[in-house]
Structure 1
Amino acid sequence: MRAARPDRTLERMTNSSPASRVAAGRAARKRVTRSSTGDWAPAPDRSDPMAILEKQGATRIPGLVPIRYGRMAATEFAFLRGAPAIMAADLAQSPDTGLIVQLCGDAHLSNFGLYASPERRLVFDLNDFDETLPGPFEWDVKRLTASIAVAARQNGFSDDFGADAAREAARAYRTMMTRLAGLNELDVWYQSVDATMLLQLSKRKRGRREVEATLKAAEQRTNLQALKKLTGPGPDGTPRIRYQPPLLVPFAELGFDRDTEEETIRRVFTDYRSTLQGDRRALLDRFRYVESAMKVVGVGSVGTRCSMSLLLGETTSAPLFLQVKEAQESVLAPYQRASRYEHQGHRVVAGQRLMQATSDIFLGWASGPEGRYSYIRQLRDMKGSANVPEMDKALLRAYADLCGHTLARAHARSGDRVAISAYLGGGDSFDRAMGQWAVAYADQTREDRKALLEAIKTGRVRAVSA
């Protein structure tokens, strides 16, 4: 096992002056010039992208892996979403700045979205942290800008536009990091993106209507709404999960008998409860467990063990849906120093709490059967995401700007914002490089998806639509 990254917090606080941090940022330009961050060409010994996906599939539920391939094959954007492991291997080929932040690890456009703060306020932020790990800040920026160029192509826009939108995201990241570099530590920590900022994304009526519809839909995605959609009355009148094979199935279909299922869930929830703050444990104790079911989610996560659990409040039987999601090793792990958290669920939760301005009150982690790691959060808590495939040019460009802004705020909570700002500078060298990178990697994504389609055609892998 790799040695855990030493904790440098106190060293940073006692030994780093603003001037030395600026100097560190400028020195990073000697390791990697800003213009060279836009270079991309596959290495002669580049790993077979299908081999990377098949290696991941070997750790997943065999019956669900074909669903993953089917979803990834649908479009180039879907392929990119499901292939963070391929991009991580590619990013590791090139030298990096050494300016370390807590990375999301999968910061594509669809991993930003809406959710409710504990104060029941809609906020916009990163919302997927399965791959989170410390690493060089530009890896997240490259993942974001590549997704912008791929999305632009999917929406029928030119590569010139895709590069321009990617540059806009990089510009927003750079200017936000510069602004944050001038703020004090508490002001940086309290920064957040209110959902109403989304209304400023488009000046056109159509764009505003789309944003308003997204906000309204998120506000309605509550536990009560999930109760109506995902359950039906049981024999005793108690709500029971309504199964929707193959996407929502009882544990019995996976070979669990009732006693084994109940014992496993009891162990998981006991472990999970111990990771919550005392006040959240008290709140959780006011709910009684009803049942759980296996649930297929996302694109890249398909095949990992994921379930949802229904709990009911002891007074009014108000529902609480919790998602129990398996946490495997980050796709960044082979290329970065080991996480200080051996428990992969703890790694995900710690990264999420560090990067998000505010996090789910029920966010915690647990160990499951066979030594598997999981993290747990609410399934639906006013969650919403942008409909990227339906965006027009104006909305996609504005959304790219917002995501770049949001990513900088997330990075500034853990990384040296002064050094990163000094590296980026006041000009547009980095922005232009990211526009170049985005289109070049969109080309690579197209070729990699072709490899998946060929593998499906030849029978190397099986894909199903679901």
Structure 2
Amino acid sequence: MARTDKSKSRNEAGQPASPYLSAGERAAKSRAIRDAVPRASHGGWHTPAQRQDPVDILIASNDGRIPELIPIRFGRMAESPFAFYRGAAALMAADLAVTPTSDIRVQACGDAHLMNFGAFATPERNIIFDINDLDETLPAPFEWDLKRLAASVVIAAQYLSLPQSDAARTVTDVVREYRERMLDYASMRALDVWYDRIDIQKYQDRAGDPDVVALVRKRLAERVESERRKSVPDFLYPKFVAESGAQPRIKDEPPLIFHPSGDLAPGLESGYGEAIAAYREALPEHVRTLFDRFHFVDMAIKVVGVGSVGTLCGVGLFMAADDDPLFLQVKEARASVLEPYAGKSAHPNHGQRVVAGQRLMQSASDVFLGWTRGQNGRDFYIRQLRDMKITAILADWDTRILRQYTRMCAHALARAHARSGDAATIAGYMGSGQTFDDAIGEFAMEYSAQNQADYRAFIGAIREGRLQAQIGG
């Protein structure tokens, strides 16, 4: 075989291809970025003079949502500054866009707060810890995800009434965990990075307190067992389905579960045939064989989460036999909140954008993950409902548990970024010292004050009648 001259190699477009650089060379090259964007420049947060009214941004984010559900969305956000932060991804995206950026891009989560991490079942039925909500995923600078995670750690600590000094130490530790994990990934072989996963049963933390690691693993194991019971058809079917008519029908529990009108869901009369067919084509060929064993029975709107409330989300019931149901969650996929600042998606369907990002960032994704488009022109992605998904319950956490859990989040985020981006470049930019850790920690502490101010403005808008909120929805 003839030797290829690297200096003359060309890509498929006929342009000179970039020469191969070793991991060390890529790291060294990225260190030069510090001259233009010093790591310390990521520290702190100052409210821009021309910053848009946060309430206006939230009102604009309601475009296209189901009007009757918007008060439920705002009611959930009004519960606390932490709940507000969860629902205000569009607000922080606008703020991140004016901060210094390395422009080292990865497939970003887009909404990497700590409640969007958790455990779930792989297709092999193992339980792993990973990012579990990627509705806003889009290529963007790596530090945007890290800043959103870091700020959520501080705001969670405040929600738990932990000392401010504990919040500061915890968030700096989270950034350090991300940086050190990325340094590890930079030295690993490409396939080892790709196949790496955080197995709940085997999880260890070299810098964690062994007793706290054991406690977190025990709690997760208990949650896993609880969710395992709730995910089986024998639990889901009687919970969601009534059999009083000619065929099974999802139970209406308005305003959180209800059957849509033909105006809201134009495919209703045809049984959503076109959308289901398009979804089937988005599945891998071997999964289609499995999906073809099920037939569509019913579909209902189901309100979920905080940020997704008001979007057209639902649950579909499919049956392979009288005692063999499949529940699929159908979620509307809108343009990512990052799009105005990071650029448009390369995918023509936002459901496809979410699926592609999920498959790239997660170490394992749901076997029924796919996308489609409705007759109303809305994009959707589809996955199994409650496939042993486990999210955090903060209520009784202390500093030790918060620290351990958020270190796991940082590990998962670093692993996801290392899959889609270049770990050597990211690690080279962050370096081996604490400069970057301290800067992101400082940003998170100061941005938490911005979140508090925005929350107060939000509550004020509700009291003034500018926004309608259904508390407790």
Corresponding position: 1:227 with 2:237 = yes
1:232 touches 1:241 (CA, 8 Å); kept in 2?
Answer: yes
Q: 1:395 aligns with which of 394, 398, 401?
A: 401
Corresponding position: 1:250 with 2:256 = no
2:267 touches 2:374 (CA, 8 Å); kept in 1?
Answer: no
Alignment of 1:339-418 (within 5 A): 339-418=345-424
Question: What residue ranges of structure 1 are gaps of 5+ in the alignment?
Answer: 1-5
Secondary structure, counterpart of 1:390 in structure 2: coil
Aligned counterparts of 2:221 and 2:267: Cα–Cα separation in 1: 46
State the Cα deviation string for residues 269-315 of structure 1 (Å, max 9, x = none): 0110110111111110001111010010000111110011011124x
Counterpart code for 1:394: R
1:288 touches 1:311 (CA, 8 Å); kept in 2?
Answer: yes
Percent identity of the aligned residues?
44
Question: What residue ranges of structure 2 are gaps of 5+ in the alignment?
Answer: 1-10
Aligned counterparts of 1:22 and 1:293: Cα–Cα separation in 2: 51
Alignment of 1:1-20 (within 5 A): 14-20=19-25
Corresponding position: 1:203 with 2:211 = yes
1:256 is displaced (CA, Å) by 5.7
Corresponding position: 1:454 with 2:460 = yes
Stretch moving more, 96-105 or 155-164: 155-164
Counterpart code for 1:226: L
Alignment of 1:57-456 (within 5 A): 57-197=62-202, 203-204=211-212, 209-224=218-233, 225-236=235-246, 238-252=247-261, 255=263, 260-263=267-270, 265-314=272-321, 317-456=323-462
1:390 is displaced (CA, Å) by 2.7
Change (3 A) 1:12 1:377: farther
State the Cα deviation string for residues 324-364 of structure 1 (Å, max 9, x = none): 11111000000012221121111111000000001011101
Aligned counterparts of 1:212 and 1:50: Cα–Cα separation in 2: 40
State the Cα deviation string for residues 172-212 of structure 1 (Å, max 9, x = none): 11111000100111000000001225687761586565333
Aligned residue-pair number: 456
Secondary structure, counterpart of 2:306 in structure 1: coil
1:110 touches 1:388 (CA, 8 Å); kept in 2?
Answer: no
1:231 is displaced (CA, Å) by 1.9
1:264 touches 1:369 (CA, 8 Å); kept in 2?
Answer: no
1:14 is displaced (CA, Å) by 5.0
Secondary structure, counterpart of 1:353 in structure 2: helix
Counterpart code for 1:162: A
Aligned counterparts of 2:241 and 2:116: Cα–Cα separation in 1: 27
Counterpart code for 1:20: E
1:7 is displaced (CA, Å) by 11
Alignment of 1:33-44 (within 5 A): 33-44=38-49
Aligned counterparts of 1:283 and 1:76: Cα–Cα separation in 2: 44
What TM-score comes out, normalization by structure 1 length?
0.93
Counterpart code for 2:329: Q
2:174 touches 2:407 (CA, 8 Å); kept in 1?
Answer: yes
1:264 is displaced (CA, Å) by 5.9
Stretch moving more, 389-398 or 215-224: 215-224
2:216 touches 2:404 (CA, 8 Å); kept in 1?
Answer: no
Stretch moving more, 36-45 or 216-225: 216-225
The equivalent of 1:3 in structure 2 is none
Aligned counterparts of 1:7 and 1:87: Cα–Cα separation in 2: 38
Aligned counterparts of 1:320 and 1:11: Cα–Cα separation in 2: 50
Secondary structure, counterpart of 1:110 in structure 2: helix
Counterpart code for 1:76: P
Aligned counterparts of 1:11 and 1:271: Cα–Cα separation in 2: 39
Secondary structure, counterpart of 1:464 in structure 2: coil
Counterpart code for 1:427: G
Aligned counterparts of 1:16 and 1:341: Cα–Cα separation in 2: 29
1:13 is displaced (CA, Å) by 7.5
Counterpart code for 2:295: R
Counterpart code for 1:59: G
Counterpart code for 1:121: N
1:160 is displaced (CA, Å) by 1.4
Change (3 A) 1:411 1:223: same
Aligned counterparts of 2:42 and 2:384: Cα–Cα separation in 1: 38
Stretch moving more, 348-357 or 378-387: 378-387
1:437 is displaced (CA, Å) by 1.3
Aligned counterparts of 1:12 and 1:365: Cα–Cα separation in 2: 34
Counterpart code for 2:388: M
Counterpart code for 2:284: Q
Aligned counterparts of 1:216 and 1:347: Cα–Cα separation in 2: 32
Secondary structure, counterpart of 1:370 in structure 2: coil
